[in-house]
Amino acid sequence: MTELYLASGSPRRRELLMQIGVPFTTLSAPVDEAPLAGESAPAYVERLARAKAAAGHATLAQPGVVLGADTAVVLDGKILGKPENAAHAQAMLAELSGREHQVLTAVALTDGQRCESLCVTSQVRFRLISVQEAQRYWATGEPVDKAGGYAIQGLGAIFVTALAGSYSSVVGLPLSETAELLEHFAIACWQASPPDAEDTHPL
């Protein structure tokens, strides 16, 4: 059985992999996340995903496959990173307010011999967000470590009026595309029950 390693500290990516029943071990693979001069958003996230996978694989003492991923929120071609402080977070929400933006997530898998990667783009539209709402949202603590300063799977869901693309990709890992990549490395989904799964029977 091929061992899978997740080169990410994101609890959301861990939950998404568990959701599709894929066993894995988490490892740390810090990389420099500074964008290169003139680098497009798709090229940026895919480069980082591949770098994380490679950095993770370099730490292995035995054969295995490493998954790296990176997510970026993009507005008018500009990457909105994680907020540096309250003012930065509120400024980002003001930019996103009442508009459509893109969320890009790249996934890369490597076994040390080959590396395969892809990038998924989703469109997200926000309703208008008042200054007071942005302040209250920051006070919840949720936006602190989130790209674009919001979490679609959390309290920030109330801002979203439309989504075209992959919901799981916006959260942090496009599950359909990730399952396809895993298959290329002989790693099957549905090996384990999802967390807190309960048997259900139709009435």
Which residues have a catalytic role annotated?
70
Helices (H) and strands (E) in the chain, counts: 6, 7
Amino acid at 44: Y
Q: How far apart are CA 84 and CA 18, in angstroms?
A: 30
Which residues are CB-neighbours of 111 under 8 A, at least 6 positions away? 2, 57, 63, 64, 65, 66, 185
The distance in angstroms from the start CA to the end CA of the chain is 38
Can you tell me the distance from the alpha carbon of 71 to that of 51, in angstroms, rounded to the nearest whole number? 13
Instruction: Specify the 3-state DSSP secondary structure of 167.
Output: helix
CA distance 55 to 152: 28
* Rounded distance between C-alpha atoms, residue 93 and residue 62, angstroms: 44
Inter-residue contact 4 to 24 (CB < 8 Å): yes
Tokens for 189, please give them: 């989904």
